[in-house]
Amino acid sequence: MSIWISILEQGLIYGILALGVYITYKILDFPDLTVDGSFPLGAAVTATMIVKGVNPYLTIPVSFLVGALAGVCTGLIHVKCKVRDLLSGIIMMTALWTINLRLAGTANVPIFGEKSIFDNETMDGIFSGNFAQYKVLIIVFVIAVISKILLDLYMKTKSGFLLRAVGDNENLVTSLAKDQGNVKILGLAIANGLVALAGCIFCQEQRVFEISSGTGAIVIGLASVIIGTSLFRNLTFLKATTAVLIGSVIYKACVAAALKFCEPQDMKLITAVLFLIILIIGMERKKKVKKNA
């Protein structure tokens, strides 16, 4: 039982990250590697705030904003300095490593025993007795669903339309007398805001900030997005954002299953192989569609 709860918790937390990756990868068509830095950035900000005794619920909006700022930087490097998309992300990711270390002070900040969004009087009051084991899962679920709904609502606004248009046809955005660069920067900001939010939740769930927690985050995000969008392609009633969240849970389940038969140090290799398999399956589908068309 507890393994399933753990998979769902992890899946939903990384699902928020996957929502961010969905914006850059699927909507903006921008392979954004900033994610590997902005995920621990959210965690670093959170750990620092919690150690200082700030209200843990404040960490949520603050992490989002700080993550968004990182996204804006990547966007500025790409749009204003005309650096290639992949390289802009790598530059920002590298820079963020130092920034995260500076923010947190050390590579490892434990926050055991401190108040967090999961551990405080109010939450302990609501989830008592038998319910206690579902506490983290329910809180994570609520945050993930709220993030998804807000993102869905945003995509239906005029600004959201423009964001969808810029990944689809940059030219049209220019024709509409709008600067496509600014729209891209906005998209990167929202995406990295969500990623940092995921980092914030992750840090409080693990009760520790770890500088290397972001390594490979982009792979997890991409895998979740690709699983979600290609698996549920034919279910039109299912929104892409929902599919991405489910995709993330499936991915975490796959990793957990693989780990059952392997040692923990095989983790990265499993991740890589799994990602490759997902990519190949995703491509297969694309080819079939083209042939039929």
User: Where along the sequence are the contacts to other proteins (CB under 8 A)?
Assistant: 154, 156-162, 164-165, 168-169, 171-180
Q: Cβ of residue 173: shortest distance to other proteins, in angstroms?
A: 8
CA 243/CA 216 separation, integer angstroms: 21
Considering beta carbons, is residue 80 or 156 the nearer one to other proteins? 156
What b/e string do you get for 255-268 counting C-beta neighbours within 10 Å, with b at 16 or more? beebeeeeeeeeee
Distances (CA, A) of 41 to 36, 55, 84, 190, 237: 9, 18, 23, 15, 35
Q: Cβ of residue 253: shortest distance to other proteins, in angstroms?
A: 30
Q: What is the DSSP string of 169-220?
A: -HHHHHHTT--HHHHHHHHHHHHHHHHHHHHHHHHHHHTEEEGGGGTTHHHH
Q: Cβ of residue 214: shortest distance to other proteins, in angstroms?
A: 30
Q: Cβ of residue 183: shortest distance to other proteins, in angstroms?
A: 8
Considering beta carbons, is residue 166 or 274 the nearer one to other proteins? 166
Single-letter amino acid, residue 30: F
Considering beta carbons, is residue 277 or 289 the nearer one to other proteins? 289
| Token pair belonging to 95 | 């820079």
Considering beta carbons, is residue 94 or 157 the nearer one to other proteins? 157
Q: Cβ of residue 151: shortest distance to other proteins, in angstroms?
A: 13
| Token pair belonging to 164 | 């969808």
Backbone region of residue 140 per phi and psi (left: phi > 0; alpha: psi in -120 to 50; beta: other values) = alpha
Contact 56, 286 (CB under 8 A): no
Considering beta carbons, is residue 1 or 293 the nearer one to other proteins? 293
85: how many CB neighbours lie within 10 A of its CB?
21
Considering beta carbons, is residue 173 or 219 the nearer one to other proteins? 173
Residue 220, C-beta contacts closer than 8 angstroms, at least 6 positions apart: 14, 17, 18, 248, 251, 271
CA 115/CA 227 separation, integer angstroms: 35
Considering beta carbons, is residue 156 or 268 the nearer one to other proteins? 156
Q: Cβ of residue 284: shortest distance to other proteins, in angstroms?
A: 21
